[in-house]
Amino acid sequence: MLPEDPDRPTDAPPATPTPQEPGPTGLLTGDVPVLLPVATPARRRGGWTLGLAVALVAVLGGGALFMSGFVLGQRTENQPGTPGSEAEAFQPFWDAYRAIRDRYALEPVDRKTIIEGAIRGMVEAIGDPYSTYLSSEDFRQTLQDINGEFEGIGAEIGTVNAAGETVDCAEFGPDCRLVIIAPLEGSPAEKAGLEPGDVVAQVDGSTLDGLTPDEARDRIRGEKGTTVVLLIQREGRDPFEVSITRDTIHQREVITESLADDEVGYIRLTGFSDNGAAKFVEAVDAAIDGGQTKLIIDLRGNPGGFVTAARTVASKFIASGPIFWEEDADGKLTETKPDEEVTAIDADIDVVVLIDRGSASASEIVAGAMQDSGRATLIGATSYGKGTVQQWIDLENDNGGLKLTVAKWLTPDKHWVHNEGIVPDIVVERPADTPAGEDPVLDRAVEFLTDASTGRAALPKAA
């Protein structure tokens, strides 16, 4: 809440809306990034998703992917200075507001528009790509879309510089480009052939230069049945256009398969909703009950989701010790332990977790927990690297809401993966020209679990 205007009568109504307690969506990791933010995540290697749902994931993907039902305790702020000093500091704001309200000559000024613009400016001034202001319309749309069904192209996006390095930037230009982090499973983006690392140079024939991330998001997202044409720059190819028909995206989060003559159970998790986590637990139990003694958990291209869902998934393999640590603005660490309502499988069951550049946020919570605890071997490529937690804060008087970074999360060994990612135990890249139907990363995982000469027995033993 802004300090009161000292010129305002004491009996006048509040000049600005007052934040309420966190809205029903609670905390999120992710999205990807996402505007994401993705995980959510939402810039960096993954940042936003595109769809009618807003914010990181919402941009290209669904709101449910990045929302969390896990609510942190509220921290009481010790704001510097006195109320009087803050009022003095904000006096230029009130001077500007009154000047616009009373003297702007071209057309009537809508007070709500000014208020939302002021809030948006405050959030942008933080310089955190994962903290976002949503207008009342966008905020309502986000809350409506948290069930995992949304309209759009279904991809998580972020920002990189000309060298392909993750950057945070306010608008696109020569050294700030829009990049695809990961198309969502079964989405129009995936069907159209978009790949992680693709740079979006144009949307419907217009460059993105000079646009903000929100403006670029608005150009890409849209209603079901409408078409958007993206000019794609991909390493090793000339620029090419991709026409994508927007659709309603139904997130199928759990995909199972039996491999190696039914010896190995394969479970792919494409998102982290609470419902998806419950289905994942059922899939693990079904694999074990079916006699499978080795498991492959595929988190590739998974941009993240609910913190509670990540905890549930990790708890299926880790019976004790931390799943992750949370560090608040004061540096206080809080341990998140396994969910007592989830029964971990036998530690004798060998587990491999597959990750890649599109594995972000909640995916990294699980991967980091499995790696640090020694419960699984990670195979694939370095993950995305999103190590922050966001919280939804609903604003009064129909003034939208904030998605605000409120904490860092750390792996069980207290490593912060932000902007670094998690390096797998066995690095296996999947070349861009890999023929359809072939998966060298999955092949290496099966080999690792089943072939004593090249798998676990061949690894050096710890001293």
Mean pLDDT in residue range 276-301: 97
Confidence of residue 63 (pLDDT cuts 50, 70, 90): very low
Determine which one of 187, 315, 361, 383 is catalytic: 361
Q: What was the pLDDT predicted at 41? A: 31
pTM for this one?
0.66
Report residue 106 CA to chain centroid gap: 41
- Active-site choice (31, 138, 372, 394): 372
3-state secondary structure 93-133: HHHHHHHHHHHCCCCCCCHHHHHHHHHHHHHHHHCCCCCEE
Rounded CA separation 245/222 (Å):
9
Summarised one tens digit per residue, pLDDT across range 26-50 is: 354 443 333 233 333 333 333 444 4
- Domain assignment of residue 148, yes or no: no
The model's confidence at residue 349, banded by pLDDT at 50, 70 and 90, is: very high
Range of the domain at 281: 254-387+408-458
- Give 193-204 pLDDT, tens digit per residue: 999 999 999 999
The C-alpha atoms of residue 34 and residue 22 are separated, in whole angstroms, by: 19
Digit-coded pLDDT (tens) for 233-271: 999 999 999 999 999 877 678 999 999 999 999 999 988
Which pLDDT does position 445 carry in this prediction?
Answer: 98
For residues 210 and 274, the model is more confident at 210
What's the pLDDT score for residue 165? 82
Assign 3-class secondary structure to the chain: CCCCCCCCCCCCCCCCCCEEEEEEEEEEECCCCCCCCCCCCCCCCCCEEECCCCHHHHHHCCHHHCCCCCCCCCCCCCCCCCHHHHHHHCHHHHHHHHHHHHHCCCCCCCHHHHHHHHHHHHHHHHCCCCCEEECHHHHHHHHHCCCCEEEECCEEEEEECCCCCECCCCCCECCEEEEEEEECCCCHHHHCCCCCCCEEEEECCEECCCCCHHHHHHHHCCCCCCEEEEEEECCCCCCEEEEEECEEEECCCEEEEEECCCCEEEEEECCECHHHHHHHHHHHHHHHHCCCCEEEEECCCCCCECHHHHHHHHHCCCCCCCCEEEECCCCCEEEECCCCCCCCCCCCCEEEEEECCCCCCHHHHHHHHHHHCCCCEEEECCCCCCCEEEEEEEECCCCCEEEEEEEEEECCCCCCCCCCCCCCCEECCCCCCCCCCCCHHHHHHHHHHHCCCCCHHHCCCCC
Q: Looking at this protein, which amino acid is placed at residue 24? A: P
Measured CA to CA, the distance from residue 401 to residue 69 in angstroms comes to 17
The count of C-alpha atoms lying within 13 angstroms of the C-alpha of 39, restricted to the half-sphere facing its C-beta, is 42
Question: Residue 95 catalytic?
Answer: no
In this predicted structure, the answer to whether residue 379 has a pLDDT above a threshold of 90 is yes
**Residue 190: inside a domain, yes or no?**
no
Total domains in the fold of the chain = 1
Inside any domain, residue 173: no
Residue 347 lies in a domain: yes
Crossing angle of the two packed helices 362-372 and 307-315, in degrees rounded to 10: 30
**pLDDT exceeds cutoff 80 at 381:** yes
C-alpha span between 453 and 284 (Å, rounded): 27
The answer to whether residue 361 is catalytic is yes
pLDDT score recorded for residue 121 = 94
Q: Which residues contact 280 (CB under 8 A, 6 or more apart)?
A: 253, 254, 267, 269, 312, 313, 316
Supply φ then ψ for residue 214, to 5 degrees.
-65, -40
Q: Is residue 309 part of a domain?
A: yes
Name which of 99-108, 282-291, 372-381 the model is least confident about. 99-108
What Cα–Cα distance (Å) separates residue 295 from each residue in 339, 376, 453?
Answer: 21, 10, 19
| Residue 214 confidence class, pLDDT cut points 50, 70, 90 | confident
Contacts of 371 (CB under 8 A, 6+ apart): 353, 378, 411, 422, 425
What sign has the CA pseudo-torsion 380, 386, 389, 392? negative
Nearest C-alpha neighbor of 262 from the set 285, 284, 287: 287
Q: Where residue 85 falls among pLDDT bands split at 50, 70, 90?
A: confident
Contact 43, 161 (CB under 8 A): no
Quick check: 181 pLDDT over 60? yes
- Residue 367: CB atoms within 10 Å: 28
Is 90 exceeded by the pLDDT of residue 383? Answer: yes
Residue 346 confidence (pLDDT) above 90: yes
Tell me if 355 is assigned to some domain: yes
Give CA 58 to chain center in angstroms: 9
Q: Which segment, 1-10, 62-71, 429-438, is predicted with the most confidence on average?
A: 429-438
The reply to whether 21 falls in a domain is: no
Q: What is the mean pLDDT of the chain?
A: 81
386 catalytic? Reply is yes
Reported as a pLDDT band with limits 50, 70 and 90, residue 400 is: confident
Backbone angles phi, psi at 338, to 5 degrees: -60, 150
- In the numeric block, which tokens belong to residue 172? 């696109």
Where residue 316 sits, what CATH number does that domain have?
Answer: 3.90.226.10
Q: For residue 139, is it within any domain?
A: no
Q: Check 386, 394, 403, 408 and give the catalytic one.
A: 386
